[in-house]
Chains A and B, each alone.
Chain A
C-alpha cells in the first residue's frame, strides 16, 4: 500500500512539474515518466499485462512519437504560454485541493477506490485541462490531452477489477487514434504555416 501511495504522490509531483515546465522536450520526458508511473500503479494493482501495455504505449511509444514530431517540424523549444507558469502551478494546486474536497463529498462505495487514488486522478485530469487551455503550442496541448486521458484512465482503473479490461483497451485505442490524427494535423499545420503557435491562427483570413 505504501508503494501505491508513493507512486500516487510521484504522479502528483509530476503533474506540478509539467505545469511549471516551459520546454517541450522536458514536458515530453515528464509525460513519458507519467506513463511509466501509471504502468507501475497498474502493476501494483495486480494488472500486470495492462501495465506492460501501458508502459509500452504511454511510457515509450507516444513520447517517442511526440519527440519525432517535434524534431520533424522543428518547433521552437518553448512558446510563451497563455497562462503564466506560476499561475498554472497555483491553479494545479487549487485543483488538487478541490479534488480532495470532492472526495469527501462524493458518496463512494467503501473500499472502491484505493486511498488517495481519486484526488490524484482528478488532479491529473485538471492539470491536463490546464495544459490544454494554458499553453500556446499545439504539441503542448497534445501533451495536455494525454495527461487528461491519464487522469481519466486512473479514474477508471478500479473498474478493471470488475472485469472492464476491454473498456480500458478501447480507451487506449481511442487515444492512439487521437494522437495519430493530431500528429498528422500538427505536421500539416507546421508545413503550411511554418509555426505551431495556435495563437497565430487568429490572423488567418478567408
Chain B
C-alpha cells in the first residue's frame, strides 16, 4: 500500500507544475488564444534555478530562508494527505491539525520575508494575505470536522477508530454517503473548491497575473524574490494548488482499485484544473472587501453540512 502512496506522491511532485499549465491553457482557449505551452512553469523553474539571485541590502536571513521553509512546510503537509485513496504512511490521529498549521507555517514564513524587505508595498500584501488566510482557516477546519464526523459514523462510532486522521476522512465514505441520499455532503467539495481559489490566490479572490499594484495580494509579497528562491516559491505554490485540488478530488472519488483509482485521480485533478481555468475565465475579480464574503460563504456551507451530518 505504501508503494501505491509513494507512486502518487511522486506523481504529485512531478505533475504539480502541469496543473498551473492546464489552468493557463484553459484560460487562453476560452479567450480565443493559443496560450503559453503547457510545460511553461517547468521551463520557468529550470531557468530560475540556473540564475543568480539579486537581494536587497535591507533584507536579512529571514528573507533568504523563507522560500525554503514555505516549500518544506507544503511538502510535509502534502505527505500527510492520502493521495488517490492511498493512506499516508505518516498518518496519525489529529494529523489534519498538523497539515493545516504546516500550511500556516509556510504562509507565516512568507509574510515575515515580505515584512523583512521593509517595503510598505510588500507589507500591504502580507497584511492582506494574513487577513484572508485567518478567515479561511476556520472554514477549512469546519470541512475537516464534517469529514471526521462522517468517518466516525462510517466506523460505527468505535472509540479507537482513527476518524481524526486525514487518511480516514478521505477514504471514500463521502461519495458513498452522498449517493445514499445525504445531499448536504455535496457542499463540502464546493466549500473546499472556494478555499482552493482563496488559499492559492486565484480569481475571484486574487489575480496571479495582475500588475495593478493596489489590488495585489500574494504577488505583492514575492516581488523582491528572484532566482532559485523564486523558483522555490513558484514550485511551492504549484504543490499547494495540487494539495487543495487533492482534498477536493479526495471527497468526490469513491474507493477504487489501483489502476482505475490512479486514472480517476489524475482525471479528477486535471478536471479541477480546467474548472479553475473556467472560473477564472468567466468571473471578474472580487473587490477586496467582498473576498471575506466568499470565504464566509464557504464557511457557512461547511457549517451547514456539519450541522446536518451531525443530526443524521
Known A-B contacts A2-B181, A9-B308; A93 and B303 likewise in contact (beta carbons under 8 Å): yes
In the assembly, what is the distance between CA of A93 and CA of B308, in Å? 11
B307 touches A20 (CB 8 A): no
Residues A1-58 near B (CB distance < 8 A): 1-2, 5-6, 9-10, 12-13, 16, 20
B293 touches A16 (CB 8 A): no
In the assembly, what is the distance between CA of A89 and CA of B301, in Å? 10
Known A-B contacts A5-B181, A9-B184, A85-B293; A16 and B300 likewise in contact (beta carbons under 8 Å): yes
Which chain A residues border B296 with CB–CB below 8 Å?
A: 20, 86, 89
Known A-B contacts A13-B304, A96-B307, A100-B311; A6 and B183 likewise in contact (beta carbons under 8 Å): yes
Which chain B residues border A100 with CB–CB below 8 Å?
A: 307, 311
Nearest chain A CB to B11 CB, angstrom units = 36
| B297 contacts the other chain (CB 8 A) | yes
B183 touches A9 (CB 8 A): yes
Chain B: interface residue total (CB-CB under 8 A):
15
Interface of B is mostly: helix
| A97 contacts the other chain (CB 8 A) | yes
Known A-B contacts A85-B293, A86-B293, A100-B311; A5 and B183 likewise in contact (beta carbons under 8 Å): yes
Nearest chain A CB to B198 CB, angstrom units = 16
Nearest chain A CB to B149 CB, angstrom units = 15
Closest to A20 in B: B297
Which chain A residues border B187 with CB–CB below 8 Å?
A: 13
> A9, A13, A20, A119: which has the most chain B beta carbons within 10 Å?
A9
Which chain B residues border A2 with CB–CB below 8 Å?
A: 180-181
Contact mask A50-93 → B, CB, 8 Å, 1/0? Answer: 00000000000000000000000000000000000110011001
B307 touches A93 (CB 8 A): yes
Residues B162-196 near A (CB distance < 8 A): 180-181, 183-184, 187
Nearest chain A CB to B35 CB, angstrom units = 34
Residues B259-312 near A (CB distance < 8 A): 292-293, 296-297, 300, 303-304, 307-308, 311
Which chain A residues border B292 with CB–CB below 8 Å?
A: 86
In the assembly, what is the distance between CA of A33 and CA of B229, in Å? 52
Closest to B308 in A: A9
Contact for B304 among A1, A85, A93, A119, CB less than 8 A:
A93
Which chain A residues border B311 with CB–CB below 8 Å?
A: 100, 119
In the assembly, what is the distance between CA of A97 and CA of B304, in Å? 10
In the assembly, what is the distance between CA of A82 and CA of B296, in Å? 19
In the assembly, what is the distance between CA of A6 and CA of B187, in Å? 13
Nearest chain A CB to B235 CB, angstrom units = 36
A6 touches B181 (CB 8 A): yes
Nearest chain B CB to A196 CB, angstrom units = 24
Residues B122-146 near A (CB distance < 8 A): none
Which chain B residues border A86 with CB–CB below 8 Å?
A: 292-293, 296
Residues of A within 8 A of B (CB): 1-2, 5-6, 9-10, 12-13, 16, 20, 85-86, 89-90, 93, 96-97, 100, 119
Could you write out 25 A-B pairs with CB less than 8 Å apart? A2-B180, A5-B181, A5-B183, A6-B183, A9-B184, A9-B308, A10-B183, A12-B304, A12-B308, A16-B304, A85-B293, A86-B292, A86-B293, A86-B296, A89-B296, A90-B300, A93-B300, A93-B303, A93-B304, A93-B307, A96-B304, A97-B307, A100-B307, A100-B311, A119-B311
Other 11 A-B pairs with CB < 8 A, given A12-B304, A93-B303: A1-B181, A2-B180, A2-B181, A5-B181, A5-B183, A12-B308, A85-B293, A89-B296, A96-B304, A100-B311, A119-B311
Of all A-B residue pairs in the complex, the 6 with the closest CB atoms, nearest first, are A2-B181, A6-B183, A9-B183, A89-B300, A86-B296, A100-B311
